[in-house]
Structure 1
Amino acid sequence: MEKALEQQKSISQEDYAKVKSLANIVKPLRSVLHKTPDDYGMTGWRDIYFPSDDGIPLEGWYIPAKGGESDKLIIFNHALPMCRAGFPGHLGKPWSNFDAVEIDFVIQMKHLTDAGYNVLAYDIRNHGNSSAANGGLSGIGRWEWRDCVGVKKYVDNHPTLSKMKVGLYSQCMGGNSQYEAIYRRSDLFENVLCLCSPMVVSMAAIFSAFSELQGISQYQELIDLELIKMGAFTAAEMTPQHFASGVKMPVLMIQVLEDAWTRNPEDAQKTFDLLASEDKELFWIENTTRRFKDGYNYFGKHPEKVIAFFDKYMK
C-alpha cells in the first residue's frame, strides 16, 4: 500500500476522480425489473423468496416449462449491475452510463421453458428486488456465493423442486459466485449435471482495461486502496480463478473474444484452463467488442448452442 499512498499525494484531482469512479463499480446500481415472464406469454409462473446462506432475503421467479412442469430445472444467476430481468440501459440514465442498451434475460428464460426446462431466476443481494447487504457493496462473487448456496438449499428442501434434475446458468458475477459456491460447498452441488457460465471475469482485467482507456493505468494500487477504504475486496481477490479448480461438472463457458471491457482474452482462457472439468468447452463470440450488447444478449439471440448443451447432459 506504500506505493498507493505515495500516488495519492501526487495524483491530480481529475485523475483521482477517475480512480474513484472505477473503484465504485463495486457499488452496484440497482436495475429495475423492466420485463416479466408475462411479456413473453409464459404462464404458471410465480414470485418466490428465500434466504441466502447468511440470511439475506432474496427474491425471484419460478417459471414452469411450457405445457407444465418438467423434471428439469435451470437455476439462473445474473450479472452485475443487472437483475433477473436483465439490464435497462435503453431507459436512459443512470443505467445508460454503463451502456445504453437493453439486456433481456427473460427471453432467455423463454427459450429454456420452450425447450422443456423449468427456470428459477432470482436477484442477487444488492441487485433488483433482493435485500441490501455488505454495506451495499459487491464482492463480484466473494459474498454473493452465499446466495448461490441459499438458492440451492431452497431447491433441495422444496417438496417438488428437490426431485428435479438441476443445471446452472450463471453469468459474469453470477458465474464467479457459482464457482466459489461449488468450491466451498462441493457436497451441495454434487448432483448438479452441468454449468453454463458466460462472461465470467477477473476484476483486475476490467480495472486494467478501463484505466488504460482513461489514461490512469499506472494507478492500479490506488484503485485497490480505494476498494479497501470502502470495505471491498482488492482487484486480485475478485476473480473466479481462485475457485475454478473446484468445478468438476461439464462446463460451457462463453466469452467475447475482443471484449472492450477487459481487452484481455487471456484472463478468460486462464479461468477456463483452471476448471477441473474433464468435459468443458470455451466458446468465443467473435466480430464484436461489445460485452453488454452482444455478450450478455448472445443466448437470447442465438439459443441453439446453450439449449443443445443442456439437452446433452439433462435429457
Structure 2
Amino acid sequence: MFGKSISDLMIKPGKSPVFETPDSFGLDYQSVTFPAKDGVELSGWLLGESTDQVIIQSHFGVQCSRCGYTQEGKGMMKNALWTSDIHFLNHAKYLVEAGYSVFMYDLRNHGDSGTGTTPWVTWGVEERKDVLAAVDYVSSLPQFEHASIGLLSICMGAASTTFAYGLEPALKNNPKVKTLIAIQPLTYDYFVAAMGLPKFLIDAGNEYNHKHRDVDLTGDSFLPYAKDISVPTLVIQNRQDPMTNLDMVQQYFDDLQVEKEMLWLDLEKKRGAAYDWIGHNPTPILEWFQGHMGLRRAAI
C-alpha cells in the first residue's frame, strides 16, 4: 500500500488540465496536434507572428500542462508547490511582445496530449520523444524554414530535453536549435529524498514502480547526458527550493560543455516560486534569447 501511494504521488499523472487559453491574455493562437516518433499524439499552441525566431516550451511534470499549474482539484496538496495558480502564458505574452513566436505543448500523459506507450510519468526518459517531436514539428513548418529555435525547458521539461540531447541525435544535429534555458532541472532520486521520506518508503515506491509499472527511476537519471547538450545554456535555480539538492543542480551546470551561465534566485521556500517568477521577470529570459538567437529583438 505504501509503495503504490508513493508511486502515485511521483509518477501517476495528476490533474493537469489546460485550464486557460491564450486569448484570455490577449494572444492570438493556433491549436495543433502532431505525432511523436512512437505514435503518441501531442497537442499544442502556436502563438505569435515571427517567422525567424520561435521559442519551444516544455513544461514540468505530473500536475502541469502547457499553460501552467492550477490549484483546482489538488485538495490538501494545493499549496505544496505554490500559493496560487502558475500561468505560463505570462511569459508567453512577453516573449510574443518581444517579437518571438512561441510553441507551447503538452507532454504525453498531460493536458490534452495522448497517453504514452506507458501511462506513467518517466521523469524525462519517454518524454524526451516529445521534445524531439516538438522541435521536428516546428522545424517542418514552412513559415519557420529559416527560423532559429530556442528551448525553454522547465523541471521535467529540462530533464526531457537533456535526455533528448543524449539519446536523440536528430535533436543534437538540428542546426535550427540555437540555445536552451533549463529551469530547475531535478532528478527523481533527489526529489524524493528532499521530501524527507524515510528510506523504507522510498524503497517501497521504487519497488512498486519497477514491479507494477515497469518504470525504474533510480540512478543518475539525465545527469550523464548534460555533457551532450550542444547549445549555449542558461540554468535557473531558486536557492530556497526545498524539493531539490543544490549540489545536483551545480553538477548539472558543471557538466555542461558549452557556453553557459548559472542564475541563482533567492525566492520563497517553495518549488513553484521560480516557475511563477519567470512569468513576471522578463529581463534575464529575453536577454539570454536575444543574445543567442542571432537577430536582436525589441528593447527589453
Same fold judged by TM-score > 0.5? yes
Q: Which amino acid aligns with 2:242?
A: A
Query: C-alpha separation between the residues in 2 aligned to 1:308 and 1:126?
Result: 33
The alpha-carbon deviation at position 229 of structure 1 amounts to 2.0
Q: 2:236 aligns with which of 250, 254, 265?
A: 254
CA contact (8 A) 2:6 2:201 kept: no
Query: C-alpha separation between the residues in 2 aligned to 1:228 and 1:98?
Result: 27
After TM superposition, list the pairs within 5 Å mapping 1:193-212 onto structure 2. Answer: 193-210=178-195, 212=196
Are 1:26 and 2:11 matched, yes or no? yes
Provide, for residues 13-39 of structure 1, a one-character-per-residue CA deviation record: whole Å limited to 9, x for no partner: xxx63x533322111113111221111
Query: C-alpha separation between the residues in 1 aligned to 2:236 and 2:291?
Result: 17
Query: C-alpha separation between the residues in 2 aligned to 1:157 and 1:287?
Result: 39
Query: C-alpha separation between the residues in 1 aligned to 2:274 and 2:218?
Result: 23
The alpha-carbon deviation at position 244 of structure 1 amounts to 0.8
The alpha-carbon deviation at position 232 of structure 1 amounts to 4.2
Distance 1:272 1:178, change over 3 A: same
Q: 1:291 aligns with which of 271, 277, 284?
A: 271
Deviates more, 1:140-149 or 1:267-276: 267-276
Normalising by structure 1, we get a TM-score of: 0.86
Distance 1:75 1:94, change over 3 A: farther
The alpha-carbon deviation at position 208 of structure 1 amounts to 0.6
Are 1:77 and 2:58 matched, yes or no? yes
After TM superposition, list the pairs within 5 Å mapping 1:140-179 onto structure 2. Answer: 140-179=123-162
After TM superposition, list the pairs within 5 Å mapping 1:231-242 onto structure 2. Answer: 231-237=213-219, 239-242=221-224
The alpha-carbon deviation at position 222 of structure 1 amounts to 2.8
The alpha-carbon deviation at position 248 of structure 1 amounts to 2.1
CA contact (8 A) 1:26 1:232 kept: no
Higher helix share: 1
Q: Percent identity over the alignment?
A: 27
In structure 2, runs of 5+ residues without a counterpart are: 296-300
Normalising by structure 2, we get a TM-score of: 0.90
Task: Compare CA radii of gyration and give the structure with the larger one.
Answer: 1
Provide, for residues 126-184 of structure 1, a one-character-per-residue CA deviation record: whole Å limited to 9, x for no partner: 00000011331011101010111111221222212232111100111111111111222
User: What secondary structure is seen at the aligned counterpart in 2 of 1:253?
Assistant: strand
CA contact (8 A) 1:201 1:239 kept: no
Q: Which amino acid aligns with 1:160?
A: Q
The alpha-carbon deviation at position 57 of structure 1 amounts to 0.2
User: What secondary structure is seen at the aligned counterpart in 1 of 2:279?
Assistant: helix
Query: C-alpha separation between the residues in 2 aligned to 1:173 and 1:162?
Result: 28
